[in-house]
Structure 1
Amino acid sequence: MQALLERLAERLVDFRTMDMPELAVNTAVEAITDTVAVLLAGADEPGLQALIRATENCIAPGPAWCVARSRGVDILSAALINGMAAHALDFDDCSNSMGGHPSAPLLPALMALTDQSDVDGATFLRAYLAGFETETRLGRAANFEHYEKGWHPTATLGTFGAAASAAALLNLDARATARALAIAASMAAGIKANFGTDVKPFHVGQSARNGLLAALMAAEGLSANPDALEHPQGFFRVYNGEGRYDADRLLADWAVPLDIEEVGIAYKQHPCCASTHPAVDVALALRRDHGITPDQIVAVRSLTHPRRLRHTNRPDPKAGLEGKFSVQYALARALAEGVVRPDVFNDTEISRPEIRDLMARITAAPHPQADMASTEHFFAEVEIELTDGRLLRGEIDRPLGRDRDHPLPKGALRAKFMACTAPRLGEAGAAALDHALAGLPAAASCQKIFAALRTDTDNHQRKSTADA
């Protein structure tokens, strides 16, 4: 009997000749555009700069564009650094099936390979979709046990996704693709204990690099066990435990529809952990509808699903990055300012006395009616007690952007793109990149599509010269 990875690989190879549904292609372009934006916006984050310094003597000259670098680098270094940048702000897209962030591990690996050997846009999109379907199908098989055990699915499952995408772009046959995925099984890593630190986005850079390396090694004939998923000491049992996964879900109803069509992609409007977003959306609505100011607030009570609260119940975050995983801090910012901005997640802002005072009035608890077996775990209920005696209450089943039934406001993704890219590329450069990415499906050359990113390299070079 064929191993699971062999059967999966055959289906992934078939992707290269299938007609991709219009909805899948359009959503892929939308997700790639959003990921490019947050990748550029994450370029100056301290953790990313630490990675660049740490790897300075390991980076070789090469053809690949690398954010905030003034020269081309080798493709593995580009995947690592760009992958970390894409997740540095925790502003990148999410997948309900994967239980993580699908695009950030895929795009940096694909972009690096494209810099080495150009492809057309349709080929690029098919490779992205192959990786996306791999990640999300593995998520269906492994979650929620995988997530609740403490693995970071973006890092673990994302390594498989990056390997699948890279294998597609390298045009590996089914046997080599299965080897790439089996190699990825021994390179997948990332634990949730490091949420709230620089290691979390590093997970993503490592998954992009490792997935790319797995495909490159498979192309050269490196051997690996195609039973690496279902073996008694394989990925499923080692990472999840005996009886705590459903391998049949990996291939069941394959591509009918594609996961990117349904379940789809979640887009973020707040640059912090998605588990805080439901409560933040409720708080913003109450603030807007009732004109609440911080001095009116006596107490705030947030009720969310235990799965979401486990890593976000942080009433006293000590560092800026930890604030991204504190529902109390995110709510305080939302209630105080009516927005949660990227620039408030630093050590200075998180210590502001007025924010600390408001946080002290915010409590978070698991919702008493939460069902741990349910896939509906992105709801929230928020109560706000005011000085005039009023008790305001609001609830939401899912935050905006989480699925097609709860879209972001019209124009929000475009505004996010410009806000993330214009500071590095300028308004004209950002608009040119947006226009180029929109043309990805019909593009003859991906190198030309991503050429606008070279403006970031030019700007970095000029800044480095001016600072010298």
Structure 2
Amino acid sequence: MGTTEKVAQFIVNTTYDQIPAEAIAVAKSAIVDGLGVAVAGSQTETGRIVARWAKEMGGAPAAGVVGAGFKTALPIAARANGTMAHALDYDDVTKNTGHPTPPLLPVLLTLGETQRASGRELLEAYVVGFELESKLGNSMSRKHYAHGWHSTSIFGTMGAAAAAAKLLKLDVWQTQMALGIAASEAAGLRQNFGTMTKPYHAGLAAANGVIAATLARQGFTSAADILEGEFGFLRVFSMPGEYDEAKISETLANPWNLIANGIGLKPYPCCRNAHRPVDAMLALIRAHGFAPEQVEQIDCEISAHVTKVMTYEQAHTGLEGKFCLPYCLAVAVCDQRVGIRQFAETRVRDPQVQALSKRVQIIHPYDRTEWDTGELLPCIVRVRLTDGRVLEASAGSPRGDPDNPLTWEEIADKYRDCARELLAEGDVERTLELLQRLEEQPNPAELMEILTFKGKPATR
């Protein structure tokens, strides 16, 4: 039996009762976190543009667009909702895969709504989609990413197809066909980081997963060996000798990646590579209470892979700011926090923040990177003050990492903070209540009604 068939059998045969309670708990936290971020993302310029586009495209009113007040065709809604879910770069991360939830969540919202899937079925679909994303990522070296492919959308397209196949109750052959179709739709280039097209990658992955599964349900065909074939997914997106096929077929649910590697939830809406330096900087501010005008210079010692991802030396837009480490450190000093408002266009252009970011020096003192070692290298932030003092802090695992997790209260508070961008307080609490008891819900109808149609009038 080939790898693609084994994967398809796993997707079809996995049931809610087979999934460990710990994995279900992690999945629920990721869904709560991801949905809050998507709601807030609907109120960004990126979210508004993609909502206008979705309305202009038209289509049968099948599934809701978050915060937009209308329904549209399944792939259009999935594309819009996925883009919103990644618009703030506030969404979750996991080892080797990128951002796992933005491609999966829109599948749950759109097909969950039309199929009237139960909460348990939604969780089943999330878990099998996440497991495939993760095991594909684990099977490859980081060279596909270094070459320019965006892991979130490459692996996310396959995970989205798996989740969609599960919700549509496809059989094994149909699921193989869905995976084959999805593999030819997988795309996303890192050159677009720092622009609206980066979050669009997640929307594209979600939509293509839905398209692949719905085509397969109609009898549309593809290669049944799309993962392992000579010109298949692994050999095209990786390099010769840079993948291990056995890490997919032989490790599905053994162990469950939601437990083995977990998911990192973000306390800051910017590239994850900035989080350790920001953690260190905020710790220094709490300990010493210095002001921006007291700062003469900031040095940050960190692995060189960070600036291969955070490529902007100076930020001119909010999206660039998310991928500019000097900006992230400078705004942390000026505002003593790093939240949604810190990446507003007006904040990024503030003269004080811009001046301080120019006094940030990024230093790469190591002869290897974390991509090479697979382990954290020291991250040190050093602040030289005008009175001659030099303050220094180091950071271990970033806040929100599986090794340094957010509490449930912190996750819920993040959801509330994000959801208030769109919803009135009563609806914020009601949606959170529904999500907390997701496995008890008969279908997502009430949740989608609120998210689609009950935004504050001023935001629509």
TM-score higher than 0.5: yes
Partner of 1:459: 455
In the TM superposition, residue 463 of structure 1 has moved relative to its aligned partner by 4.5
The match for 2:262 among 264, 283, 287 is: 264
Distance 1:245 1:366 in 2: 28
Instruction: Answer 1 or 2: higher relative contact order, Cα 8 Å, separation at least 6.
Output: 2
Give the Cα–Cα distance (whole angstroms) in 2 for the partners of residues 269 and 275 of structure 1. Answer: 12
Residue from 119, 122, 130 that aligns with 1:121:
119
Give runs of aligned pairs for residues 126-145 of structure 1, distance below 5 A: 126-145=124-143
1:345 equivalent in structure 2: 343
CA shift for structure 1 position 73: 1.3
Distance 1:43 1:69 in 2: 8
Distance 1:221 1:237 in 2: 26
Which secondary structure does the structure 2 equivalent of 1:216 belong to?
Answer: helix
**Aligned AA for 1:414?**
A
Corresponding residue for 1:366?
A: 364
Q: Report the equivalent of 1:324.
A: 322
Residue number among 414, 417, 431 corresponding to 1:416 in the alignment: 414
**Quick one: structure 1 residues 242 and 352, their matched pair in 2 at CA, closer, same or farther if it must change by over 3 Å?**
same
Asked if the contact 2:90/2:269 (under 8 Å) is kept, the reply is yes
SS in 2 for 1:306: coil
Letter aligned with residue 74 of structure 1: A
Name structure 2 gaps, 5 residues minimum.
Answer: none
Aligned residues of 2:67 and 2:422 also touching (Cα < 8 A):
no
CA contact (8 A) 1:196 1:322 kept: yes
Q: Summarize the alignment of residues 17-28 of structure 1 with structure 2, pairs less than 5 Å apart.
A: 18-28=17-27
Q: Superposition RMSD on alpha carbons, in Å?
A: 1.8
C-alpha displacement of 1:374: 1.8
How far apart, CA to CA, are the structure 2 residues paired with 1:72 and 1:409?
34
The answer to whether the Cα contact below 8 Å between 1:28 and 1:128 also exists between their aligned partners in 2 is yes
Structure-1 separation of matches of 2:285 and 2:407: 18
CA distance in 2, matches of 1:347, 1:130: 38
Taking a change above 3 Å as real, the CA distance of residues 214 and 122 of structure 1, as seen in their structure-2 partners, is same
In structure 1, what is the Cα distance between the partners aligned to 2:289 and 2:227?
54
Aligned residues of 1:379 and 1:399 also touching (Cα < 8 A)? no
Selected match of 1:172 from 166, 170, 174: 170
Larger CA deviation: 111-120 vs 312-321: 312-321
Residue of structure 1 in register with 2:61 after alignment: 62
In the TM superposition, what whole-angstrom CA distance separates every residue of 1:262-320 from its partner, at most 9, and x where no partner exists?
Answer: 21010000011111111111111111111122122121111222222212142212222
Q: What pairs with 1:133-282 in structure 2 (closer than 5 Å)?
A: 133-282=131-280
Contact 2:280 2:395 in 1 (8 A): yes
Secondary structure in 2 aligned to 1:267? Answer: coil
CA offsets 1:79-133 (integer angstroms, 9 cap, x no match): 01011011111111111131x1111100101210121121211111101101000
Amino acid at match of 1:307: H
Distance 1:123 1:379, change over 3 A: farther
Q: Distance in 1 between matches of 2:3 and 2:357?
A: 49
Q: Does structure 1 retain, via aligned residues, the 8 Å contact 2:4–2:228?
A: no
Verify the 8 A CA contact 1:278 1:378 in the aligned structure 2: no
Whether the aligned pair in 2 keeps the contact of 1:142 and 1:245 (CA below 8 Å) is yes
Q: Deviations over 1:432-453 (max 9, x none)?
A: 1101111111222232444432
Q: Residue in 2 aligned with 1:13?
A: 12
For 2:129 and 2:455, the matched residues in 1 are separated by: 32
CA contact (8 A) 1:97 1:263 kept: no
> Counterpart of 1:440?
438
One-letter code of the match for 1:458? Answer: K
One-letter code aligned to 2:208: N
Q: Compute the displacement of 1:409 (Å).
A: 5.5
Counterpart amino acid of 1:164? A
Aligned length: 459
Mean CA deviation greater in 50-59 or 226-235: 50-59
- CA distance, structure 2, for counterparts of residue 314 and residue 85 of structure 1: 23
Provide the rounded CA distance (Å) in 2 between the counterparts of 1:17 and 1:429.
Answer: 28
* Equivalent pair of 2:54/2:80 in contact (CA under 8 Å): no
How far is the alpha carbon of 1:378 from its aligned partner?
A: 7.2
Name the CA distance, whole Å, in 1 between partners of 2:35 and 2:28: 11
Contact residue 109 and residue 212 of structure 1 kept, 8 A: yes
- 1-side partners of 2:230 and 2:266: how far apart? 38
CA distance in 1, matches of 2:285, 2:299: 14
Following the alignment from structure 2 to structure 1, what is the Cα–Cα distance between the partners of residues 2 and 259? 27
Q: CA 1:95–1:344 in 2, change beyond 3 Å: closer, same or farther?
A: same
Secondary structure of the residue aligned to 2:399 is coil
Q: Is the 8 A contact 1:42 1:88 kept in 2?
A: yes
> The residue matched to 1:348 in structure 2 has which SS?
helix
- Give the 3 Å change call, closer, same or farther, for CA 214–326 of structure 1 in structure 2: same
Q: 1:416 to 1:367 in 2, by over 3 A?
A: farther
User: Which has the higher mean CA deviation after the structures are superposed, 125-134 or 9-18?
Assistant: 9-18
Q: Which moved more, 1:308-317 or 1:393-402?
A: 308-317
Pairwise CA distance, 1:328: 0.5
Alpha carbons of structure 1 residues 209 and 31: separation in structure 2 relative to 1, 3 Å: same
CA contact (8 A) 2:157 2:209 kept: yes
CA distance in 2, matches of 1:10, 1:332: 50
Hey, what does 2:389 align to over in structure 1?
Answer: 390
**AA of the residue aligned to 2:226:** A
The SS at the match of 1:459 is coil
CA shift, 1:398, in A, is 1.4
Say which SS state the counterpart of residue 239 (structure 2) adopts. coil
- Displacement of 1:423 in angstroms is 3.3
In the alignment, the residues of structure 2 paired with residue 406 and residue 343 of structure 1 have an alpha-carbon distance, to the nearest angstrom, of 25
Retained in 2: the 8 A contact 1:184–1:214?
yes
Q: Please say if residues 134 and 161 of structure 1, whose CA atoms lie closer than 8 Å, have aligned partners that are also in contact.
A: yes
**How does the TM-score come out when normalised to structure 1?**
0.94
Mark the CA change 1:379 to 1:149 in structure 2 (over 3 Å): closer, same or farther.
farther
Q: Answer with 285-294 or 199-208: which moved more.
A: 285-294
